[in-house]
Amino acid sequence: MAVRQLLGRGLQLSRALLLRFTAKPGAAYGWGRPGPAAGWGRGERAGRAPGLGAEARGFGLGLPERYRFFRQSVAGLAARLQRQFMVRARGGAGPCGRAVFLAFGLGLGFIEEKQAESRRAASACQEIQAIFTQKNKPVPVPLDMRCWQGFRLEDYLIGQSLGKGCSAAVYEATLLTLPQYLEKTKSTRLLPGRGPDVIPHGEDEQAAGAPAFPLAIKMMWNISAGSSSEAILSKMSQELVPASRVALAGEYGAVAYRKSKGGPKQLAPHPNIIRVFRAFTSSVPLLPGALDDYPDVLPPRLHPKGLGHGRTLFLVMKNYPCTLRQYLHMSTPSPHLATVMTLQLLEGVDHLVQQGIAHRDLKSDNILVELDADGCPWLVISDFGCCLADENIGLQLPFPSWYVDRGGNGSLMAPEVSTAYPGPRAVIDYSKADAWAVGTIAYEIFGLTNPFYGQGSTYLESRSYQEAQLPALPESVPLDMRRLVRALLQREASKRPSARVAANVLHLNLWGGDILAFKNLKLDKMISWLLQQSAAALLTDRLTEKTCMETKLKTLFLANLECEALYQAALLLCSWRAAP
């Protein structure tokens, strides 16, 4: 029945087009008026069209009645189309002309049906996306910060160092407004308002039921930004890209900074990207380990040989237990879990690309990990100090000279970036650079050494490596995952899948099931699968207090649903599975 409707629709459309472009103006064939063949008589609908030969009328003999009726109807309409056009054009035509017009009608029918199918699929994807966009909630702001707290360094109790990088040090912290810390402040005679309170590691756990430090404070090292708040915010603006809407509400000059034209973009929240709750400038304090870990960047009042300025930028974020590098040092995820972890990175990178931002410093040290109730890791991209987030240029960076900053980690710099050569019209496209970096990090997630780190025969350089030199992932890694990593590490960015398509490949690999049979890959079937996934995700979210990792990923997938990108991923995955 579907084929019959398809052919009938195509023939009707082709007939209407031919009538419009071949009919002559006049009493019987005026524009906007149907000609003699516009309406089908009762006998014609039964296959007895005038002028139809005996051979055509008997074409369907021996077939069931419904097929005979269909074939005769098609033959009758083909004859009409042939007469309507060819009689006027040449004065007549043979059976070959009839076949041409029948093929023309069939082609139009297929085109129209495909367009209608695409419209239905796109509409369904938009409706699903609208539903799950509202459920894709970012990391909540701590309760104590919702009452306009935490805009001064003196509001925090600072613990031990969590780590340091090339431009900042990070410390665990909590707000002094928590009752147990207010009591501790009184007992130790620490006075809020005279500087950040610093306590030894472990004292916060002495009181029964006292929580661990829920926050982390990142203190930037200020060597060249000056000591004014405006200069600091301008110089370190990239660090503020993931800041929340109210993060700078307590800082002088923040309104002018936010409204300045041509400044960095403000990143919309995403579960796989760090969120900065508070950002402010303050005097540099002497924190635990400062004299041993970073004495040269301290101001002279704290260290005689220090080169730093007296004020700097502080960022307040959620405290995550460890980085991805630390997690992989302690744990070895299963192939399935490693696939899910890689998928999380691709979801975060896709969000950046959609916002017109390139991270440019992706590495396992800049990815934070939080474990859920089941011990499954949730990955969060952090440290945006090297990002490209310019409102004016987006992801297309002009590269007129070597003085242009191309990003942070040179070892994990995509080939199109590392091999770029400056010139008057040179431009570096970062739209797939972070996805390439995810492909390199996948080696670490699956238990191998990153091939673009280290030395020796296994060490590769992004400038000169060949794809055949890439080491093979273990056989325990799913075949589709191995092929995806290879695809992400292709040297030519045009051949590399985008982060969205790569993420869709993993979603389909994990949960696609039977829709990936190449012969049965149809948009309508894919939409039915999407509706099933949507219902399951909504039901699971309502029945459980804490959403599991896979449900969160499905919610992310459905909130970023694009019909075209999903179909591209399905075709890519089917082509891999069809290959020998």
Query: How many CB atoms are closer than 10 A to CB 273?
Result: 25
Cβ–Cβ under 8 Å, residues 77 and 50: no
Q: Which residue has the tokens 């972890």?
A: 341
Query: How many CB atoms are closer than 10 A to CB 507?
Result: 23
Active site residue 361: yes
Residues in the chain: 580
The secondary structure of residue 388, as a DSSP letter, is: B
Enumerate helices (H) and strands (E) in the chain, giving the number of each: 18, 11
Cβ–Cβ under 8 Å, residues 60 and 67: yes
Q: Which of 361, 383, 390, 480 is catalytic?
A: 361
How far is CA 534 from each of CA 47, 135, 316, 339, 368, rounded to the nearest angstrom? 46, 12, 35, 21, 28
List, in sequence order, every residue forming a beta bridge with 282; answer none if it has no partner: 312
φ, ψ for residue 256, nearest 5 deg: -65, -35
SS3 43: helix
Q: Widest CA span of the chain, in angstroms? A: 110
Query: How many CB atoms are closer than 10 A to CB 357?
Result: 28
Distance CA 321, CA 370 (A): 6
Going by C-alpha positions, the residue among 142, 168, 162 that lies closest to residue 314 is: 168
- What is the sign, positive or negative, of the torsion defined by CA atoms of 86, 92, 95, 96? negative
The secondary structure of residue 270, as a DSSP letter, is: -
For the record, the structure tokens of 6 come out as 């398809």
User: In the chain, what is the straight-line distance between the N-terminal and C-terminal CA atoms, in Å?
Assistant: 36
Burial of 116 (0-12, 13-18, 19+ CB in 10 A): exposed
**Type of residue numbered 404:** V
Give kind and range of the element (H or E) at residue 278: strand 276-283
Distance CA 428, CA 315 (A): 30
Contacts of 119 (CB under 8 A, 6+ apart): none
How far is CA 336 from each of CA 111, 342, 477, 480, 547, rounded to the nearest angstrom? 40, 10, 8, 12, 19
| Pure H helices in 35-187 | 42-45, 54-57, 65-89, 95-133, 179-187
Annotated catalytic residues are 361
